[in-house]
Amino acid sequence: MTSGVHPLRVVLVAPRNPLNIGAAARAMSNFGCTELRLVNPYEVAFREARSAVKAHKVLEKAEEFPTLGEAVADCGLVVGTTSIGHRALEHPLRRLEYGGRLIARKLVSTPVALLFGSEKFGLSNDDMSHCHWLMRIPTREEHGSMNLGQAVAVCLYEIVRNPAAAKPEPDSRRAARAGDLERITGLLGEILEHSGYVHERVEGSTELKLRRLVRRMKLNAHDAEVWLGMLRQIRWKLLS
């Protein structure tokens, strides 16, 4: 995981569906997170995890624990995920946007456990009492409960998310020079005049409109050359 020096431990509590375990493992592999722990999985369902394309390394390393307490014993922060519902929570509840930042920061100094409950019931009150705080994904109220594999993917994305990347990347393509844009404007004007689209080439307002139209194309240098080539050919055909 790029955001910390300690591992994030994804802990699935009593997962029932091997497809979901596989999907969780795949999302972990996508985001560079390798430590999967299972508490009391149903009938060792995780050995059957099938949808786990390229995630076999995560699944091979996965550890099984009889109790949640043992699964999180070596972690300095334990965070439970919840879709809340109508249960009154005894814990501080943080939205993923903020909780994800806290977890990423905490990973600098300690391993962190991120808990996901069973598909049907989520985390129990007993499970939650092992947590320092709870975290929720900002889903809409009428349909808050996410698929397990998708919930894992979204949480891991937020944790590896790079806030600095939310800014424009420098455009590697060189912008077209104003001289080329002016040549395009001129060629287009000539072509439209010869085509009968513009009747009075000399009319200034048309020229200004064309000039602005061409600037709004935001052409890069390469595309400007392509346009010049196309327009020259069209002009040649019209005048020949």
Q: Which residues lie near a second copy (CB under 8 A)?
A: 2, 19, 23, 26-27, 29-32, 51, 53-55, 92, 94-98, 100-101, 137-140, 143-147, 149-151, 153-154, 157-158, 160-163, 165-169, 171
Q: CB-wise, 92 or 229, nearer to a second copy? A: 92
Q: What residues form DSSP beta bridges with 81?
A: 135
**Residue 163 CB, nearest approach to a second copy (Å):** 7
Q: CB-wise, 152 or 198, nearer to a second copy? A: 152
Q: CB-wise, 146 or 234, nearer to a second copy? A: 146
The Cα–Cα gap between 30 and 47 comes to 20
Q: CB-wise, 127 or 158, nearer to a second copy? A: 158
**Residue 4 CB, nearest approach to a second copy (Å):** 14
Contact 35, 7 (CB under 8 A): yes
**Residue 8 CB, nearest approach to a second copy (Å):** 14
**Residue 123 CB, nearest approach to a second copy (Å):** 18
**Residue 62 CB, nearest approach to a second copy (Å):** 16
- Residues whose CB is less than 8 angstroms from the CB of residue 31 and which lie 6 or more positions away in sequence, other chains included: 1, 153, 156, 157, 159, 160
Beginning with the edge strand found earlier in the chain, give each strand of the sheet holding 77-81 in spatial order: 63-65, 35-39, 8-13, 112-116, 77-81, 133-136, 93-95
Q: Would you call 1 helix, strand, or coil by DSSP? A: coil
The Cα–Cα gap between 80 and 130 comes to 9
Q: CB-wise, 18 or 149, nearer to a second copy? A: 149
What DSSP state is assigned to residue 109? T
